Structure 1
Amino acid sequence: MSKGTQSLIGATVRQLRNAKGMSLQQLADISGVSVGMISQIERDLANPSMRVLTAIRRALNVSIQEMFGEQPDEAPEQGDPPFVRRLKDRPQIDLGLLKKELLTASGHHHLQIMILRVEPGGVSGNTALSYPAEKGGLVLSGELTLTVGEQASTLRTGDSFVFDSSLPHSFKNVSQSTAEILWIIGAVQFDRHL
């Protein structure tokens, strides 16, 4: 996939669901996302929030790369080692006011790196996210209000953050300009949360 090419999230979700042999109802039951919403997403009639997309991804038990339309063990450009992702090969997902660009190389990794572009008015979703992982990042440009647990902070260009994403968290862009964030997700071993 070349730079600028955006994944049609609906086709990807439908393909992944069908590959797992799941009905819309089964995916809805496991993810907690309504059948109607999943159906609208699959037909590209709705842009899912990060919370909804994460719930669907976790219910399907697939990697972030697969949600970007990549095959699990897709080979890098000829001659490149498997740890490299070239600028022209960064897949993107357009969720309306939120766009995600994957920086992590293909394959299964415990660390995911992406660039989030949050347009004015963009939010992570109507309800807070929460799942075992560590998240961190750096505001490359603009500003973003990040809420973790009961605490909120407005982050501006050059500010960084790290938090335990098992705590309810969300973000929103209340400014008049696009915020660009280097976003990092580190998988947490389950025994850390036992």
Structure 2
Amino acid sequence: MTQDDTGSIGQAIRRIRKNKHISLQALSSASGVAIGMLSQIERDLGNPSLKTLMRIQQALDVPLSALFDADGEADAKISQDDLAHHVRHATSRRAVQFGTPLMTKEMLSPPAGQRLQFMVLNIQPGGTSGPSPLSYPAEKGGLVLEGAFELTLAGKVLQLRAGDSFQFDGATPHTFSNPYEEPASLMWIIAHEPAAGRHL
């Protein structure tokens, strides 16, 4: 993946906000993220952490895949076959950097996907989801494709290596990191409950 393949999460957030006729003030109030920070994110002057992005996504009430759609691909006309089978072609795959250059997510789910989202998570040595545990209603799972990483569930540290798979209740407080010397790559899957908010 080249640098040009990395989509602008700020553009996607701004487009969604404007399409929904939500002001920066309203989004700030709903998300708990300061207006100044939101403005920086939308202008690509700030890179949101996982926690911050989760708050923005909740406030906008959109699936994760929408934040990978900086150019409005989901709004564009797609073929009937793509619509029927919910296809995302390799040429339209987007990657977004979260909070740090040490972690990127490459969306595999098609733009039309709502309840099932899957992606490739790339974590460089030292990369982490952040100090604060994540927790929200969704089934999560995955497969380690390359390298190794640590998944912490309710304080219990699981060391997972290439070939290992995992599944857990996303409501369980969790964090993940790569404390090893080699990059880690894993398939990450989120299955949202029908009435649950969509989160990262």
**TM-score for both structures, normalised by structure 1:** 0.86
Matched, 1:173 2:178: yes
Moved more, 112-121 or 16-25: 16-25
- Summarize the Cα distance change of 1:106–1:13 in structure 2 as closer, same or farther, 3 Å threshold: closer
Q: Deviations over 1:35-90 (max 9, x none)?
A: 33322222222221222212211110012221111444545468655332222221
Q: Distance in 1 between matches of 2:59 and 2:19?
A: 13
Contact 2:115 2:194 in 1 (8 A): no
- Residue of structure 2 equivalent to 1:19: 19
Unaligned runs of 5+ in 1: none
- Residue of structure 1 equivalent to 2:86: 83
SS in 2 for 1:7: coil
Q: Deviations over 1:144-166 (max 9, x none)?
A: 11111121112111111111111
Matched, 1:111 2:116: yes
Unaligned runs of 5+ in 2: none
- Residue of structure 1 equivalent to 2:152: 147
Q: Distance in 2 between matches of 1:13 and 1:106?
A: 15
The letter of the residue matching 1:87 is A
Residue 189 of structure 1 and its aligned partner are, at CA, apart by 3.4
Contact 1:138 1:183 in 2 (8 A): yes
Contact 1:98 1:116 in 2 (8 A): yes
Residue 182 of structure 1 and its aligned partner are, at CA, apart by 0.1
Residue 176 of structure 1 and its aligned partner are, at CA, apart by 1.5
Q: Distance in 1 between matches of 2:188 and 2:4?
A: 19
Q: Distance in 2 between matches of 1:3 and 1:62?
A: 26
Matched, 1:29 2:29: yes
Q: Distance in 1 between matches of 2:35 and 2:182?
A: 34
- Residue of structure 2 equivalent to 1:120: 125
**What is the alpha-carbon root mean square deviation over aligned residues?**
2.4
- Residue of structure 2 equivalent to 1:130: 135
The letter of the residue matching 1:82 is H
Moved more, 172-181 or 25-34: 25-34
Q: Deviations over 1:75-129 (max 9, x none)?
A: 5468655332222221221232211111112313311010011111111123111
- Summarize the Cα distance change of 1:75–1:185 in structure 2 as closer, same or farther, 3 Å threshold: farther
Residue 19 of structure 1 and its aligned partner are, at CA, apart by 2.2
Q: Give the aligned length.
A: 190
Identity %: 42
Moved more, 160-169 or 44-53: 44-53
